[in-house]
Amino acid sequence: MRTMWRWVRIASGIAVRGVGDTTLRKAVAGKVVLVTGASEGIGAATARRLGRAGAIVLLVARTAARLETVRREIAEDGGIAHVYPADLSRPDEAEALGLRILDDHRRVDVIVNNAGRSIRRSVADTSDRFHDVQRTIDLNYLGPVQLLLVLLPAMRAAGRGHLVNVSTAGILTPAPQWSSYLASKAAFDVWLRSAAPELRRDGVTTSTFYCGLVRTRMSAPTKAYRDAPAMTPDEAAAVVCRAVARRPRTIEAWWMRPSELFAAAFKGTVERSLSGDNALDTLRAAIASGLLRPSRLLRLLRATRRYGWTLAAAVEAGPADGIALVDDHGSITREQLRLDMRGRAAYLRDMGVTAGDRIGIRCGNDRGLVTTAAAAGLLGADAVLLPPTLDDDELTAVTAREGLRLTVGDGPTAAPTWLPRPRRPGRLTVLTSGTTGPRQAVRRPITWRVLLGPAVTHLRLIPLRPGTPIAVAAPAYHGYGLSYLAAGLALGAPVVLATGLRPHRLREIVDTHRPTALFALPVQLGRLADLPEADALHGRTRLVTGSEPLDPELCLRLLDVFGDRLFNLFGATEAGWATIATPADLRAAPGTVGRPPRGVRIRVLDGDGRDAPPGEAGAVHVSGWLPGGALVATGDVGYLDRAGRLMLTARVPAPSPR
């Protein structure tokens, strides 16, 4: 049964045919075989197999303790192995290693070049990380070449020897995100193929194994590979041993050469399809969120057409049942929330509120804000969300400036009743922060076409799932908190609302509800990090901050305490969501707000309205939310670094009154 399963995996292209023990023993018994990268994975499995076949195995890797473990395993099976710790990413160490091996063994019969460094990083993320390119080249190309230049003369003088290079199938069909890794592997591959005719004249042969995906520690960090079909280290080691014993020029899975020919014949088509790789990730995220279910899409379209982009539409677009909200008063089901907002709408209607009226809503971060704002949407009224902290003078000024008919809070309801469709959709607006001028209501016209790119980008980085809670600690009367409140209601993710600066309450919410993400202000996350054993916070919850600047020192502290699950969002009430910083961005540039989502563009303009060069501060503008790509100033000063990440430095000062 095991044999049949092995051939099924070979026929499907997951694995490649190996070699039998008898053939391998005839080829290597008593021979000196050097294996680099022998401390784990393919290298360790290859070394153990060669040791059982009677080879004298020279184990090379950086970590002496792991090499000693492999040596002991070989010895327990009756084999012979020697440990040679060395860092092949340093050519001087590679040279010293070669000389030491020649002193101990005079020459090597077979060299298996297996050590390597894998790195998956986009060109944009590499812009200010040239050292990653250098390290990858050092280990995958320069180090192995230096080692061979020391060992080859003895092999050529003896008139025999064999070199086995464990390469990657990726160099036959290059893929995005892997430019540094594939270039370094291709460099050594070309070097060896170019040297092969010279070496063959002296009896030294070469083999290259273009290895597919193998389940090792090196491939583990790439999330997309975790569930993909892959070889085991032992399966890959069997192929390496076949290269040692049979000495073919190349070995690869059956599908690799046709793929290479197709990629060469249709370069433009392949490049265009690979450029859509990110779109496939986005599509998967949208499917997981339930956005592409026909019933969900119909509800969304019907709700937004009837009630506009309001909380009424978000509630009506969501599932029919389940938990809708959790706040300090407990949980509320979607059915009860719909009844409450209809009762609140009946009360507002009795107060004379009708479609087109402009009202202020002054509620805290709880269900009262949701029911009152949704009630206004049911009536077709325009709701302006007001911070509860507004003093009387500010409230009077805002009421006059925005033409508010009345201001309501969390108050009484009437009996729920049937409400006719409003003669026009309602509108939901928030106030600007007031840092660059008087507070004023801002509403941007949103279309599905404009929303699609940013929404799916967000879902790819911070997935939202129906039935899985999210926690919103940021004030829902500001754009940041409101966006996630509405998204949770519409997508069917129960929304847990928190208020104020109560870190113990946030800790309780995360530990109890285990939300997909916690959306909070920097100061809230800072206080959460101050709690004892903060690093024990539920590890699957992403921590998303925004609305206020993230101090670089606080950023690093949050990363140290919570690990790589911190995201930083930047947006402006006037301009919309602008950028998002991933944990990798924040590690590379603490405090950055990252790069724009799909469909949005960032420009930093100098005093003359020209694009400022990287590193030079200017006024930040956003395009993508308004028709025609119109630029909107965010009111911030910042600069783009070499990697295209936005760094904010200040707010544009408010104009002096005349």
Assign 3-class secondary structure to 577-615. Answer: EEEEECHHHHHHCCCCCEECCCCCEEEEECCCCCECCCC
Best CA proximity match to 483, nearest among 517, 513, 434: 517
Number of Cβ within a 10 Å radius of residue 328? 14
Q: Find the range with the poorest average confidence among 167-181, 200-214, 233-247, 249-263.
A: 249-263
Higher pLDDT among residues 435 and 506, named by residue: 506
- The three-point CA angle 126-132-138 to 5° equals 140
pLDDT at 9: 60
Number of Cβ within a 10 Å radius of residue 69? 16
pLDDT at 29: 92
Dist CA 61 CA 70 (whole Å): 11
Q: Give backbone dihedrals phi and psi of 518, rounded to 5 degrees, phi first.
A: -115, 120
CB 25 within 8 A of CB 54: yes
Q: What is the DSSP letter of 171?
A: G
Long-range contacts at 500-506 (CB < 8 A, ≥ 24 apart): 501/527, 503/527, 503/528, 503/530, 503/531, 504/531, 506/471, 506/473
Residue 656 has pLDDT above 50, yes or no: no
CB 70 within 8 A of CB 79: no
Dist CA 31 CA 194 (whole Å): 26
CB 251 within 8 A of CB 242: yes
pLDDT at 182: 84
pLDDT at 180: 84
Dist CA 15 CA 12 (whole Å): 8
Q: Provide, for the chain, the percentages of residues in helix, strand and coil under a 3-state DSSP scheme, each rounded to the nearest 5.
A: 45, 20, 35
Kind and range of the H or E run holding 456? helix 448-461
Dist CA 324 CA 320 (whole Å): 10
Average pLDDT over residues 11-22: 68
Number of Cβ within a 10 Å radius of residue 367? 25
Number of Cβ within a 10 Å radius of residue 400? 9
Best CA proximity match to 495, nearest among 479, 511, 530, 519: 519
The residue written with tokens 């992403």 in the block is 542
HSE-CB at 86 with a 13 A cutoff on CA atoms is 29
pLDDT at 230: 65
The residue written with tokens 């040679």 in the block is 84
Could you tell me the two tokens for 380?
Answer: 């077709």
Right CATH for 20-271 from 3.40.50.720, 3.10.20.310, 3.40.710.10, 3.40.50.11900: 3.40.50.720
Residue 50 has pLDDT above 90, yes or no: yes
Q: Which one of 141, 181, 210, 347 is the catalytic residue?
A: 181
Residue 445 has pLDDT above 70, yes or no: no
- The three-point CA angle 628-632-637 to 5° equals 145
- Alpha-helix residue ranges (DSSP H) falling in 255-317: 256-265, 267-275, 277-288, 294-307, 311-317
Q: Give backbone dihedrals phi and psi of 478, rounded to 5 degrees, phi first.
A: -110, 160
CB 654 within 8 A of CB 640: no
Residue 359 has pLDDT above 60, yes or no: yes
CB 55 within 8 A of CB 112: no
pLDDT at 555: 95
CA distances from 538 to 535, 555, 607 (A): 9, 19, 47
Dist CA 658 CA 652 (whole Å): 18
Give tens-digit pLDDT for 138-181.
889 999 999 999 999 999 989 999 999 998 877 777 777 778 88
Pairing status of strand 110-113 against strand 250-252: unpaired
Hey, CA dihedral for 408, 410, 416, 421, is it positive or negative?
Answer: positive
The overall average pLDDT reported for the chain is 83
Residue type, 568: N
Q: What is the DSSP letter of 130?
A: H
Dist CA 214 CA 218 (whole Å): 9
Dist CA 515 CA 538 (whole Å): 9
Average pLDDT over residues 425-433: 80
Best CA proximity match to 181, nearest among 130, 116, 228: 116
Dist CA 248 CA 233 (whole Å): 21
| Helix, strand, or coil (residue 45) | helix
Dist CA 398 CA 438 (whole Å): 9
Pairing status of strand 382-385 against strand 110-113: unpaired
Task: Give this prediction's pTM.
Answer: 0.74
Residue 282 has pLDDT above 70, yes or no: no
| Helix, strand, or coil (residue 562) | helix
CB 235 within 8 A of CB 211: no
84 noted as active-site residue: no
Q: What percent of the chain clears pLDDT 90, i.e. is strictly above it?
A: 35
Q: Which residues pair with 164 in a beta bridge?
A: 112, 207
- Strands in 632-640's sheet, in edge-to-edge order, are 601-605, 618-623, 632-640, 646-651
- pLDDT-based confidence at residue 519 (cuts at 50, 70, 90): very high
Q: Find the range with the poorest average confidence among 25-29, 407-411, 582-586, 649-653.
A: 649-653
pLDDT at 633: 85
pLDDT at 554: 94
- Alpha-helix residue ranges (DSSP H) falling in 385-461: 392-402, 448-461
Residue 628 has pLDDT above 90, yes or no: no
CA distances from 109 to 205, 206, 564 (A): 11, 12, 45
Pairing status of strand 441-442 against strand 470-472: unpaired
pLDDT at 284: 62
Dist CA 58 CA 51 (whole Å): 10
- pLDDT-based confidence at residue 258 (cuts at 50, 70, 90): low
Q: What percent of the chain clears pLDDT 70, i.e. is strictly above it?
A: 82
Kind and range of the H or E run holding 633? strand 632-640
Higher pLDDT among residues 334 and 262, named by residue: 334
Residue 1 has pLDDT above 80, yes or no: no
Dist CA 318 CA 327 (whole Å): 19
- Intra-chain end-to-end CA distance of the chain, in Å: 88
